[in-house]
Amino acid sequence: QLTMSLNSSTILNEENTQGAKRNTECLESLLQTPAFQDNPLQQLQLASQEVLEKAKKSGRSKCPRCNSSRMFYCYTCFVPVETVPTKEIPTVKLPLKIDIIKHPNETDGKSTAVHAKLLAPDDVTIYKYPCIPEYEEKRHEIALIFPGPNSVSVKDIAFHLQKYTKKGVCASDDNCSREPLLKQAKIEPEEKHPKEGISSSRSEGTGLKKIIFIDSTWNQTNKIITDERLQGLLQIELKTRKTCFWRHQKGKPDTYLSTIEAIYYFLVDYHQEILKESYKGQYDNLLFFFSFMYTLIKDAKCCAGKE
């Protein structure tokens, strides 16, 4: 699993060829990867992508805030461009708050983290490292998605976070060992979102309120993950999904996901394993832009006559 955007400085290692020949070879080689042999994105329940189809035909457009020329959305202002009306972009309501910590050298235009902010604006915050919050006082209700020797699976969150709750909240109360505060935690009532229905009466089950993701290449990860402000947080690893990301880093397992994939798959698992609710596509629209771009690259290969 990957909790960060697996962005490499180039899509793949290319020889020194130029022009159309290089682009065709790049796409041909890229699309031979396992991610393009089997497309799990086909089963997603997505809002109509007609607005993106129209924007693709019109070409690049201006960002309404900074006036930069962009395709589909501005990756610095986190807003759709002028040819993509905000009202035609789906909105997803999440059961948890999400912080994304972005490496300062990560290329904005290659990151999928912005997709989360565009599609779940009320629940997602993006920070550029080293400007990140202090998490120590809230570590009993926060987890970090990152693979490592101490990482646990989603289904084990409740058991492991209970230890953090006892230390952080109940350390001075002997009675806490009898009835952990964890079991009494309830999610605050929420108003049902008009587009994405999220149950408002369920028990939270873990005390978990926020998830942290790191948006970085693997080579840049160490600086962030070793930051003292992230030490002591429960770490969670996703191991069962395979990436469809077209910038997958060479030599890394295909279970290392891009940032938006990691967010999506974590929420699906959380919904089923922790909330114990049937998953009916509630978070599928988080992949609204991702799936469209995936298809664009596949179609580019087809148009190049390589099918």
Q: Specify the pLDDT at position 237.
A: 92
215-237 confidence digits (pLDDT tens): 987 778 888 999 999 999 999 99
Choice between 76 and 32, residue whose per-residue pLDDT is larger: 76
Choice between 183 and 20, residue whose per-residue pLDDT is larger: 20
53-94 confidence digits (pLDDT tens): 999 999 999 999 999 999 999 999 999 999 999 999 999 999
What is the mean pLDDT of the segment spanning 280-287?
97
Q: Specify the pLDDT at position 222.
A: 83
- Nearest alpha-carbon partner for 97 in 256, 208, 193, 219: 208
Choice between 179 and 23, residue whose per-residue pLDDT is larger: 23
- CB distance 296 to 56 below 8 Å: yes
176: Cα within 13 Å, side-chain hemisphere: 15
Q: Specify the pLDDT at position 251.
A: 58
What is the mean pLDDT of the segment spanning 197-225?
73
- CB distance 265 to 284 below 8 Å: no
148-174 confidence digits (pLDDT tens): 888 999 999 988 888 875 554 443 333
Distance CA 81, CA 216 (A): 25
Distance CA 246, CA 295 (A): 11
DSSP 246: T
pTM comes to 0.74
Distance CA 147, CA 239 (A): 9
Phi-psi region of 125 (alpha: psi -120 to 50; beta: other; left: phi over 0): beta
Q: How far apart are the first and last CA of the chain?
A: 30
Q: What's the gap between Cα 301 and its chain centre?
A: 26
**β-pair type (142-145, 210-215):** parallel
Choice between 205 and 116, residue whose per-residue pLDDT is larger: 116
Tokens of 74: 């501005």
Q: Specify the pLDDT at position 81.
A: 97
Res. 248 pLDDT band, cuts 50 70 90: low
